[in-house]
Amino acid sequence: MRVLHITTNYPTPDYPIFGIFVKEQVESLQRKGIECDVLYCDRKGRGTWMYLTYIPVIWWRILRGRYDVVHCHHVLSALLCICTLWPFFKKCVVSYQNDPAREWKINCFGLIHTCFNRIIIKNTSPYLKRSRTVYLPNGCNADFFHPMDRMICREQLGLDQEAVYVLYMDSNKWGRTQKRKDRFDAALELLRKDFPHIRALELYNTAREQIPAYMNACNLHLVSSDFEGSPNSVKECMCCNVPVASTDVGNVREMIGDIPGCVIVGEFSADALAVAARKVLLSTAPFEGRDLFLRKGYSLSDVALKLKQLYESI
């Protein structure tokens, strides 16, 4: 089977974790015996209109490639593909990165639902009631993200051994407003009363090879977002046995809501997050969320198998 992946998110030397989940998914499919090519529609620093120049590129690539399936990652990739008219002649799949209500709204979803054979949604959503939609979050590389000794990681990274570190992550180099860094900062200020040595460990566009050590150096991952699809940082922390406190966004509740040591809050406020984080930090029980999390089928291999079966089904 030959699959062309069209994406507007993909890692580069300057942006090493931008769209890293697409790259890892492609590699996991290759390990399942699927022949994959990637067409990265990159417009960084060249303006949004630059995307239009990829329409003839996509058309020609599909014509020459003899692909069995075309898989578009993100709605923008799907719209570019629709402009080539190939979805009317090829088997096509699109992966949303956020809930369709947050990613180009309902009118765009109707068009995509008409043109594509399968629509992958990564969070629990009312749109899953539609006939061609499938719930399939990204998988996590459980070999790369694994538990490490916290003190050794801190020593290697030059971090304070006595501090309480709370992880904040954003794959975007400049930060995204939906992540609500302001809410994160406010929650940490509230926590400072009980934890005077608490510190934020903020990762933006960090080199991939360093992230497991940074995660393992932390006491907690605090997710303060207004909305998410299926946050990869939560999966990665689970695989590193680092507990998570989070707003009720994306599919976080499905991933970790029943895992002891993690807390999800329905109220989107700094006060509620601080209460959740305090509960996690004061827990004396060792956190063992990795195995419970992976049993739910969130490994790269498990998701790749499901995705392969999805391709075969169309």
Q: Which pLDDT tens digit goes with each residue over 112-164?
A: 999 999 999 999 888 899 999 999 999 999 999 999 999 999 999 999 999 99
Q: Which pLDDT tens digit goes with each residue over 224-268?
A: 999 999 999 999 999 999 999 999 999 999 999 999 999 999 999
Shared-domain flag, residues 82 and 174 = no
How many angstroms separate the CA atoms of 242 and 256, rounded?
Answer: 12
Residue 144 located in a structural domain = no
Residue 282: predicted pLDDT: 95
Q: Is the pLDDT of residue 45 over 70?
A: no
Determine the Cα angle at 66 with ends 65 and 67, to 5°. 90
Shared-domain flag, residues 158 and 290 = yes
Q: Is the pLDDT of residue 211 over 80?
A: yes
Share in percent of the chain as helix, strand, coil (round to 5): 45, 20, 40
Number of structural domains found in the chain: 2
Could you tell me which of 121, 53, 107, 124 has the C-alpha nearest to residue 83?
Answer: 53
The tokens for 235 are: 């999966």
Could you tell me which of 3, 176, 24, 155 has the C-alpha nearest to residue 91?
Answer: 3
Q: Is the pLDDT of residue 105 over 70?
A: no
Shared-domain flag, residues 195 and 252 = yes
Q: Which pLDDT tens digit goes with each residue over 63-79?
A: 999 999 999 999 999 99
Which pLDDT band, with edges at 50, 70 and 90, does 102 fall under? confident
Mean pLDDT of 284-290: 92
How many angstroms separate the CA atoms of 250 and 51, rounded?
Answer: 28
Residue 95 and residue 307 in contact, taking contact as beta carbons nearer than 8 Å: no
Residue 87: predicted pLDDT: 96
Query: Which residue spans within the chain are E strands per DSSP?
Result: 2-7, 35-40, 69-73, 91-95, 118-121, 133-135, 164-170, 198-204, 220-223, 244-247, 263-265
What are the start-end ranges of the H helices in 72-223? 75-83, 105-115, 150-157, 181-191, 211-216
How many angstroms separate the CA atoms of 314 and 275, rounded?
Answer: 47
Residue 50 located in a structural domain = yes
Shared-domain flag, residues 56 and 37 = yes
Query: Hunting for tokens 């303006």 — which residue is that?
Result: 47
Q: Is the pLDDT of residue 107 over 80?
A: no
List the beta bridge partners of residue 169.
203
Residue 46: predicted pLDDT: 65
List the beta bridge partners of residue 71.
5, 93
**CATH no. for residue 114?**
3.40.50.2000
Starting at the edge strand that comes first in sequence, how are the strands of the sheet with 69-73 ordered?
Answer: 35-40, 2-7, 69-73, 91-95, 118-121, 133-135
Shared-domain flag, residues 186 and 73 = no
Q: Which pLDDT tens digit goes with each residue over 289-298?
A: 999 999 999 9
**Phi/psi zone of residue 66: left (φ > 0), alpha (ψ -120 to 50 degrees), beta?**
left
Residue 145 located in a structural domain = no
Shared-domain flag, residues 124 and 245 = no
Query: Hunting for tokens 């970790």 — which residue is that?
Result: 256
Domain extent at residue 243: 150-294
Shared-domain flag, residues 290 and 156 = yes
What mean pLDDT, rounded, does the chain reach?
93
Mean pLDDT of 47-58: 86
Which pLDDT band, with edges at 50, 70 and 90, does 172 fall under? low
Residue 217 located in a structural domain = yes
Mean pLDDT of 173-199: 90
